Amino acid sequence: MSDALLTVDHLNVGFATKAGVVQAATDISFEIHPGEVLAVVGESGSGKSVTALALMRLHPGNTIVTGDVRFEGRDLLNMSDRDMRAIRGNDIAMIFQDPMTAMNPVFSVGDQIVETIRVHDSSVSKQDAWTKSVDLLKLVGVPEPKQRASQYPHEYSGGMRQRAMIAMAIANDPKLLIADEPTTALDVTVQAQVMEVLHEVQAETGSAMMLITHDLGLVAGSADRVQVMYASRLMETGTIDQIFYESRNPYTMALLDSIPDVDGLKHELHPIPGNPPSLLNPPSGCAFRPRCSFATDVCSTEVPSRVKVGDQHESRCARTDELQTSVGVSS
Amino acid sequence: MTATITPFDSGALAGTGADEPLLRIRDLVKEFPIRAGVFRRQVGAVQAVSGVNLDLYPNETLGVVGESGCGKSTLGRSLLRLVEPTSGSVMFGNEDVTAASKGRLRELRRDLQMVFQDPYASLNPRLPIRDIIGEPMVIHGVSKSEARERVGELLTRVGLLPEHGNRYPHEFSGGQRQRIGIARSLALRPKVIILDEPVSALDVSIQAQVLNLLDEIQAEYNLSFMFIAHDLSVVRHTSDRVAVMYLGRIAEVADKDVLYESPAHPYTQSLLSAVPVADPRRERSRKRIILQGDVPSPANPPAGCRFHPRCPVAQDKCMTDTPELVDIGAGHQVSCHFPLLSGETLLQRLGDMGREAAISVKS
């Protein structure tokens, strides 16, 4: 495998609140390689968006971030704000869940793309940048891009707005796209359109993508590798086939077991009992322990470390070795 | 569950038994006025529900699916007259709910209950849980002591503890709140519960808990459910029959397995093909039909078949004539001039029409 584009090493993100520190991401280490799609899945509050925001340095003021994040060898967490701005929107671009709040309502869509281009390269003339923004809108499938470029975000439908945001994100040919729940606000038929655009764009530009989602279906159809997060930690990392068919982590297995199947292959749903823990006051040991059917004494005393269980495959569970033989993923 | 054909009037549907339908919805229309100008003159109307015919049978779960804005929630609300229907009828037994007086409607709501999508907005934050669940009973004349006892039973039934009755909604998680909403809907021992997106605000690991709970109480209390949702996997799991809505109309109704395995409406086929499956191998082998464009505005719906601007196999007739919901056998109803019958797929039809290029197919 080629050298990593992005290396995250022991990243911790905490929010200082009146009630204490909420540990939103704990000991996160991973790599993204050029051209690959890495999906980050987890339920709400598992820390997937916080991780992305922290490595882009877009986290709010009360956040405590430690660890090491390197993009092409450059230290993102300790570089100047000016250098960071040069990377944001240029080398690393982000696509947010809600394009209505992520776009500026008082500028036309075309103007916003022009700004994205010229802020990173002032030598591009306004006319050239406008022509490029029309081309970009065409590339992402916005019909009549010339007219649409001078329209405002509120004149776009949800799906079109998300396309416009993708156009803006790829304006400077980023090496890494971070897409945070890019289709969650959209209907399924429109979601299919937008995912197709994302894949086409990615194939064309050769950029890598970090796809943050809670939808395991979306992951199965679009990712190369997957990271499963639970209660601020990475529970399991592997290729999509390793995660979906050879999972070695009780949380991943339980999650896959709890979702209904559109082809009707599952007759019974097996819910995960209980609720996700509070990050203000997480349980001792493994955070999944109170809900885990494989938990033993050791799980309440020790935070499990990451165990390599195969090529590219890691799991955080004290009983990883036993799980291999006793269970498989049912579908 | 097997379907038996039960011939009824024009809106005949197959149920899950030979029973009479519990709820008969006929030509139901709900328009919301669009007002503009200083005098708030009505300048148009949004037809959110536009001539819906549906039957709900005893002990069945009827799934209603569709994309946002298709009118599924408005349909559910107008059945209980939480929004007042513009025209049409909703027969509950021999009584028309839409014609009931205020007092009578209150009595009818003993039998017809609702669970809402947002477990944060649908519970009064200033009332303890026992009052939230007990209120419907007090309104309907159950004595306080009996109400208190029944609240305890209901809380236990939905997987909470009787002592939780003293707490307030903010002390509960989303899944627990939805359990409270379910307990409240059960308080008066209704016959029908309309569930409007009951699990879509919940995390996946919690969704399954609530879905299983709904399954159990349905069997225990002999309930009929109308299960309104946008998630096609969830609807397949919970429903006996499924109705697909598009822009205020019913596109297709059928027994669950028939609808999912041999859908006859081009919209149903494309909708199903767009759903991502949590199985990489199946995802790799699937051919995905990607519809062009967005759902049009219900304020200005297209003429003819409402799906025709997005339909890849639309013909001239579809642009002018509105298709009726017709039975194509065994209670399978579809509103399409050119339905896909006996296993024909949308892809085959596209091939026959030489229109493969008109649509993007992702394999």
**pLDDT band at residue B357, thresholds of 50, 70 and 90?**
low
**CB < 8 Å from B in window 147-206 of A:** 157-160, 187-193, 196
- Kindly list the domain boundaries of chain A, sorted by start residue: 6-223, 229-326
Distance between CA atoms of B231 and B237, rounded to whole angstroms?
10
Give mean pLDDT, residues A22-37: 95
* pLDDT at residue B61, rounded to an integer: 97
Q: Which chain B residues are within 8 Å of A140, Cβ to Cβ?
A: none
Alpha carbon distance A175, A44 (integer Å): 27
List strands edge to edge, sheet with B41-56: B41-56, B23-36, B87-92, B95-96
What average pLDDT does range B49-73 have in this prediction?
93
* B117/A225: higher pLDDT: A225
Pick from A58-62, A136-140, B5-9, B251-255: least confident: B5-9
- In contact, B84 and B19? CB cutoff 8 Å: no
Q: What is the pLDDT of residue B3?
A: 43
Q: What is the mean pLDDT of residues B7-33?
A: 70
B126 is written with which tokens? Answer: 């200033």
Going by the DSSP 8-state scheme, the letter that residue A153 receives in this structure is G
**B232: chain A residues, CB-CB within 8 Å:** 188, 262
pLDDT band at residue A97, thresholds of 50, 70 and 90? confident
Are A105 and A113 in contact, with CB atoms under 8 Å apart? no
Choose the closest CB to A258 out of B175, B204, B270.
B204
Locate B288 and state its tokens.
């995905």
Residue B227 phi, psi dihedral angles, 5° rounding: -105, 105
pLDDT per position as a tens digit, A144-155: 899 999 999 998
Decide if A254 and B272 are in contact by the 8 Å CB cutoff: no
Q: Which residue shows structure tokens 């197959």? A: B14
- Alpha-carbon gap: B36 to the closest alpha carbon of chain A (Å): 19
Averaged pLDDT for residues B185-202: 93
Confidence of residue A102 (pLDDT cuts 50, 70, 90): confident
Pairing of strands A208-213, A37-41: parallel
CB contact under 8 A, B204 and A214: yes
d(Cα A267, Cα A260) in Å, to the nearest integer?
Answer: 8
A6-223: CATH architecture: 3-Layer(aba) Sandwich (3.40)
The single-letter code of the amino acid at B226 is M
**Mean pLDDT, chain A, as a whole number?**
91
Separation CA A150–CA B257 (nearest Å) = 47
Chain A contact set for B276 (CB, 8 A) = 191, 215, 217-218, 220-221
Report yes or no: B230 at the A interface, CB cutoff 8 Å: yes
- Compute the average pLDDT of residues A185-190: 86
Instruction: List Cβ neighbours of A221 (8 Å cut-off, separation of 6 or more).
Output: A195, B276, B277, B280, B283
Task: Categorize the per-residue pLDDT at A141 as very low, low, confident or very high, splitting at 50, 70 and 90.
Answer: confident
The alpha carbon of residue B105 is apart from the nearest alpha carbon of chain A, in Å, by 35
Query: Number of A:B CB contacts under 8 A?
Result: 138
Indicate if the pLDDT at residue B9 is higher than 50. Answer: no
Q: Which residues contact A282 (CB under 8 A, 6 or more apart)?
A: A23, A231, A232
Out of B212, B272, B278, the one facing A259 most closely (by C-beta) is: B278
Among A34-48, A312-326, B108-122, the range scoring the smallest mean pLDDT is: A312-326
Q: How far is A290 from chain B (nearest CA, A)?
A: 14
Q: Which of A316-330, B34-48, B189-203, B251-265 has the lowest mean pLDDT?
A: A316-330
Distances (CA, A) of B53 to B7, B194, B326: 15, 16, 11
Query: Residues with Cβ < 8 Å from A263, sequence gap 6 or more?
Result: B260, B277, B282
Amino acid identity at A290: P
State the smallest CA–CA distance between residue A38 and chain B in angstroms: 14
Strands B87-92 and B23-36: antiparallel
When pLDDT is averaged across residues A105-118 and rounded to a whole number, the result is 94
pTM > 0.90: yes or no? no
Rg (CA), chain A: 21
User: What's the mean pLDDT in A312-318?
Assistant: 94
Interface check for B297 against chain A (CB to CB < 8 A): the answer is no
Domain residue limits, chain B? 23-262
DSSP-based three-state secondary structure for A284: coil
pLDDT 10s digits, B248-298: 999 999 999 999 999 999 999 999 999 999 999 999 988 888 888 888 888
- Say if B299 is an interface residue toward chain A (CB within 8 Å): no
Per-residue pLDDT averaged across B42-50, rounded?
88
Return d(Cα A65, Cα B141) in angstroms, integer: 58
**Rounded distance, CA B205 to CA A273, Å?**
8
CATH architecture of structural domain B23-262: 3-Layer(aba) Sandwich (3.40)
* Shortest CA distance from B211: residue in chain A: A269
Chain A positions in Cβ-Cβ contact with residue B279 (cut-off 8 Å)? 220, 244, 261, 331
pLDDT at position A322? 83
Whether chain B has a CB inside 8 Å of the CB on A331: the answer is yes
CB–CB contact B277 A221 (8 Å): yes
Q: What confidence score (pLDDT) does residue A101 get? A: 82
Could you tell me what percent of chain B has a pLDDT over 90? Answer: 70
pLDDT at residue A295 is higher than 60 = yes
Share of chain B above pLDDT 70, in %: 93
